[in-house]
Amino acid sequence: MHVANAKPTPSVNAPVGIEEEPRHDWSVEEIEALLSLPFNDLLYRAATVHRKHFDPNRIQISRLLSIKTGKCPEDCKYCPQSAHYDTGVEKEELVEVDTVLNAARAAKESGATRFCMAAAWRGPAAKDFNLVLRMVEGVKALGLETCASLGLLDGDQAHKLKDAGLDYYNHNIDTSPEKYDDIITTRTFENRLETIGHVRDAGLKVCCGGIVGMGEQQGDRARMLQTLANMKQPPESVPINLLIKIPGTPLGDIEDTDPFDFIRTIAVARLLMPTSHVRLSAGRMSMSDEMQALCFMAGANSMFCGERLLTAGNPTTDKDQSLFGRLGLKPEGV
Ligand code: SAM
Ligand code: DTB
Ligand code: SF4
């Protein structure tokens, strides 16, 4: 029986997320019910939704570059670049525009379609901002999609980035609103949402996701995904990072996450945000090929390739190409 506006908790056979238009009114109970489905049912649903909106054998490839490394004033408990922890990361000032453009050319040659410039800042200072705009202009002129991850922005900065040719802005909520203060004390969840609002108002695409493996409960994962999916306009790109445990950070020796819980988070992100790219992001060095294959099956259709993320390692290009070959995957847009 169909009851108007009723949102039943999904039973195993309910076509949740399969025949419906994207929704923006998910309750946390519905999301927890999806996260708790039998694994096979969840993957079947996620794969079905994935196929409705995307070619399941195509993966969008992004390449990262850290344009300013270390010495960050923020205290994010997961991050190797925070000045609050002794992690051995070499600090570097803002790199030169030419260095960025050379890295972007190499990224394009290796098959990336998007180049993401990230900085260990609370937000960009005026003295650095014009150089960042030149980097964006230069990367765009190479024919790549451009993404930046520079921390908190105001409206004026967001508009200037858009005018310079920026396509995406990456700004993660990282965890649930309830857990946020356990992880970061130097800014608030609300600060992050404000920046995402400025990014949207400037007409930029949003890249926003979070981290699994910081000791969160299933309810925190549900609240994080709910926050993303219920945005007026959900992020076009949803990076799901597996915590890279960095010695020296407060989360450096936290217990490992069950790989199936990570895959479930990907699958539910796919169900809740059926038309977004879901990115299998940090943490692939600790994943088996089989785990990554299950992430693709669950609906992940974007990745960071290249041997380095920002400061941490990532699988080699050869290893990724071999995985693509064995799975019959092809890069998107190439
Ligand atoms: N400083 C900017 C900011 O915080 O938005 C941009 C760079 S910051 C490194 C970008 C994202 O990287 C973080 O929001 C977090 O999701 C991810 N990240 C950082 N350290 C990580 C780690 N050890 N494991 C997994 N993801 C991590
Ligand atoms: C995102 O969600 N993951 C990327 C990107 N956005 C900027 C960063 C991952 C960083 C991993 C730790 C490091 O390399 O320092
Ligand atoms: Fe700084 Fe970003 Fe790392 Fe937080 S995540 S410490 S803001 S670089």
- Give yes or no for residue 120 CB within 6 A of ligand 1: yes
pLDDT digits (tens, 9 = 90+) for 232-266: 999 999 999 999 999 999 999 999 999 999 999 99
Instruction: Say if ligand 3 is within 6 A of residue 81 CB.
Output: yes
When the pLDDT of each residue in the chain is averaged and rounded to a whole number, the result is 94
Q: What is the 3-state secondary structure (H, E, C) of 92-145?
A: ECCCCHHHHHHHHHHHHHCCCCEEEEEECCCCCCHHHHHHHHHHHHHHHHCCCE
- Indicate the SS3 state at residue 67: strand
Taking the C-alpha atoms of residue 262 and residue 70, their distance in angstroms, rounded to an integer, is 28
Predicted pLDDT at 4: 45
Report, in angstroms and rounded to the nearest whole number, the Rg of the chain calculated over CA atoms: 19
Residues of the chain whose pLDDT is less than 50?
1-13, 19
Torsion of CA 153, 313, 219, 198, to 10 degrees: 10
Query: Residue 37 CA to chain centroid, in angstroms?
Result: 24
Is 282 near ligand 3, meaning CB less than 6 Å away?
no
What is the enclosing helix (H) or strand (E) of 59?
A: strand 58-68
Q: How far is the CA of 21 from the centre of ligand 1 (A)?
A: 31
Annotation says 147 is catalytic:
yes
* 223/177 Cα distance (integer angstroms): 7
296 in contact with ligand 1, CB cutoff 6 A? no
Unique residue bearing structure tokens 């003295």: 127
The per-residue pLDDT for range 67-84, each reduced to its tens digit, is 999 999 999 999 999 999
If you take atom 6 of ligand 3, which residue's CA is the nearest one? 82
Ligand 1 binding pocket mutation candidate from 62, 68, 76, 173 (most atoms within 8 A of CB): 76
CA dihedral sign of residues 18, 239, 301, 284? negative
- 119 CA → ligand 1 middle, Å: 10
Contact 71, 83 (CB under 8 A): yes
* Gap from CA of 83 to ligand 1 centroid (Å): 14
Question: What was the pLDDT predicted at 153?
Answer: 98
Instruction: Quote the pLDDT of residue 22.
Output: 85
* Confidence (pTM): 0.94
Does 167 sit in the ligand 3 pocket, CB within 6 Å? no
pLDDT score of 21 = 79
- Residue 16: per-residue pLDDT: 54
90: CA distance to ligand 2 center in Å? 16
Residue 2 pLDDT? 44
| CA 134/CA 117 separation, integer angstroms | 12
pLDDT value of residue 56: 97
Contacts of 194 (CB under 8 A, 6+ apart): 152
Condensed to tens digits (0 to 9), the pLDDT of residues 116-151 reads: 999 999 999 999 999 999 999 999 999 999 999 999
Identify the DSSP state of 77: T
